[in-house]
Amino acid sequence: MHLLLRLTFLLASTCLLLPAARADRRADPSKPFEAIVVPTIQYANRDFYDHTAENGAPNFQGVNRLFPGQRLMIVVLAGNFSVDTSGRADVVYDLDIAYPGGKTEKAGRNLTLCTGLVPDVHLMPYARQIASFSTDPGDPTGDYGFTVTARDRTAGTTSRKTVVVRVEPLAEPALPADFQPDRWMASYYQHPAPAEALPALFKFAAGLPKDNADAWPPILGFYEAVLTDNPWLAPVFLERLKSADDTSRTLLLFVLGYAWRHETAAGANLPAPLAEALAKARHNNWPEVDTGELQDPRQLDVLWGRFFATGAFAPIARITSAFALHRSLGALDKFKANPPASGQPTPEMMQELVLKSAQWSLGANARRHPLVRHYAEWILAHPQGDTMANILLATALGQESAPAH
């Protein structure tokens, strides 16, 4: 059970292929078969390749430091693999872990790197079975060695690589004087830095108007995703909550209330007054972004915050779902021409606002973030049948029309 708790595997049946150099039976016959090992905390790395076209994925950000309880993904790729006469590859790998002090663990055997038909031998396979590791309470700090032994069973060749990651106690970092929280958040998925999340939150608070509720949805979505991906941070935030002054306590309750709005046990070990305050914060009238049609531009802001925290595909797919609201186009003009007696916006008006906000924000972020553009282009290449929604998405990307299929 200990091993099962420590390691999880993402399974699929075929190779995932990345560009490599041209060759006949191998990428480069003059070079040996090679395993490539990247320890990373970019947990959406699968999305980078499942939902982008060739050459669309960002570079992996490898890490050499980890905190107790933090999850590490061991991404394995292979170069110069062979295929048989029918064009099939058969590459597997073993994973061994060396702990500080000499303990070793056989963490996985015959894990799938690439097995099956390869459409182009010039491509590089990305493992379809990836291990996740985190220390358990009582595990030592120090250097952990992760050794991958990859076997190209078609050619009968082996490649062994070891990467070392140091596990060390968390010490809250001091942010530089010129730290810019907006820029930090927007690039976080490229260079995740969860240890900076708590001090960065106070930097956000210092720069945002206290009475501007519309400024906070991106930050709420961002911290929800960071805390979901990094449950080891929960005690850190809760300890700060216990010692916070009134202003900081209000801020932490606001952010934690949203992030843990579905967690009934959140704050169970807090002193009674704080536990009650957190329970109250959890039941605020939070925007719901995961079900139903989008009805409020603030929902888009929450989704953008999630994307910046993870680089995941799901927030972008959800944002593009707003283009299906095209049936409400014209509602704003109708409202202006004949406003209702209540003066309150109609549901159709709000839907048009969501659609137009999605067009603007998607276009703007696609220009700044290649990954956003690649995800959106993947969606266009896999249409769901709503021609007008596809046209609106293509227009947001600056294309004249959606691609024909």
Residue 39, SS3? strand
Q: What is the pLDDT of residue 288?
A: 84
- Are 242 and 340 in the same domain? no
Q: What is the pLDDT of residue 212?
A: 65
**Which runs of consecutive H residues, i.e. helices, occur in 37-192?**
45-50, 181-186
Phi and psi at 123, nearest 5°, equal -105, 160
- Are 230 and 143 in the same domain? no
For residue 367, tell me if it sits in a domain: yes
pTM score of the predicted model = 0.90
Looking at the 3D structure of the chain, how many domains does it have? 3
Q: What is the pLDDT of residue 400?
A: 46
- Are 315 and 384 in the same domain? yes
Residue 279 Ramachandran class (φ > 0 left, ψ -120 to 50 alpha, else beta) = alpha
For residue 88, tell me if it sits in a domain: yes
Domain that holds residue 353: 297-396
Query: Which is nearest to 7 in space by CA: 104, 77, 107?
Result: 107
- pLDDT tens digit string along 217-244? 999 999 999 999 999 999 999 999 999 9
The number of residues in the chain equals: 405
109 within 8 A of 129, measured Cβ to Cβ:
no
Helix axes 246-259, 234-243, angle to 10 degrees: 150
For residue 119, tell me if it sits in a domain: yes
Parts of the chain with a pLDDT under 70: 1-14, 16-24, 54-57, 121, 124, 210-213, 399-405
- Are 140 and 242 in the same domain? no
**Which runs of consecutive H residues, i.e. helices, occur in 129-211?**
181-186, 197-207
- Are 361 and 247 in the same domain? no
Residue 294, SS3? coil
For residue 102, tell me if it sits in a domain: yes
167, 194, 227 — which closes off a domain? 167
- Are 135 and 31 in the same domain? yes
10 Å CB burial of residue 302 (0-12, 13-18, 19+) is: buried
